[in-house]
Amino acid sequence: MNRITKAFEKLENKKALIAFVTGGDPDIETTEKLILAMGEGESGADIIEIGIPFSDPVAEGPVIQNADARALAGGCTTDRLFGMVQRLRAKTDIPLLFMTYANPVYSYGTNGTSGFMARCKEVGIDGLIVPDVPFEERGEFEPEAARHDICLISMIAPTSGERIEQIAKEAKGFLYCVSSLGVTGARGETNSSLAELIEKAKKVSPVPCAIGFGISTPNQAREMAAISDGVIVGSAIVDLVAQFGRECIEPVRQFVGELKTGIRLM
């Protein structure tokens, strides 16, 4: 059984905290320490997403765009992140996902998606989020992901309309529910139609639904956890990394703990 599925089952109806960090920002060594700190203990994240820095991250707002630029300027590569994950697997069993784009997957090695998925399996990656690959084109990714026990995470949004049920039926690991229109980034408000969106998905699939995009405070995390199976927090964490650089470990650990407390108080 994939670690993502195990993590949700282990929660026994409690809500999951999924934390995102940009790989290689400010450097690989700090990212490695940060992931261990974010997943530590009862107050840590349940699942961690690692963003592979990319030159054209179309789903990302300024905070993560800038983090990608810093990571690339610092020499971060997909291979270096694979190596980091392999080292992490000797220290932690927390589910780890890559968030990336189609280009880095296609261009990896000489075997396209097959080579990328095989390397994910080898180092211990459990899931993959590729926001620029629409549901109708996932056939180029899904077979190789499934063959290597990698959950290809599907995304739905308030604009998905009639496609929500179709996407939910095929979902693996968890269903990524986008809370608002536009790119990632902290927001003061979240979309009020989310409960209806999740209800539609739940009618056709038992796969957990986690809400992401725009969640930046413990209060927002608690509100979103009340209508879902988990919350995803990214830009707010990446912003702390930008503020504190190599000294970000403790500020991020504390913030993740506050988020976890928030969703427990719902």
- Reported as type and span, the H/E element at residue 126 is none
Other CB atoms within a 10 A radius of the CB of residue 92 amount to 15
Burial (CB < 10 A; 0-12, 13-18, 19+), residue 123, is middle
Q: Mean pLDDT throughout 62-79? A: 95
pLDDT band at 191 (very low <50, low <70, confident <90, very high): low
| Residue 55 or residue 33, greater confidence | 33
DSSP for residue 15: P
The structure's pTM equals 0.94
What whole-number distance in Å separates Cα of residue 78 and Cα of residue 126?
16
180 pLDDT more than 70:
no
Domains along the chain with CATH numbers: 3-264 (3.20.20.70)
Q: What pLDDT sits at residue 192?
A: 58
DSSP structure string for 31-92: HHHHHHHHT-STTS-SEEEEE---S--TT--HHHHHHHHHHHHTT--HHHHHHHHHHHTTT-
pLDDT tens digits for range 220-260? 999 999 999 999 999 999 999 999 999 999 999 999 999 99
C-alpha distances (whole Å) from 178 to each of 15, 69, 185, 205 are: 17, 24, 12, 17
pLDDT tens digits for range 99-147? 999 999 998 976 778 999 999 999 999 999 999 998 999 998 999 999 9
What whole-number distance in Å separates Cα of residue 84 and Cα of residue 81?
5
Strands (E), the chain: 16-22, 47-51, 96-99, 127-129, 151-152, 154-156, 175-178, 209-212, 230-233
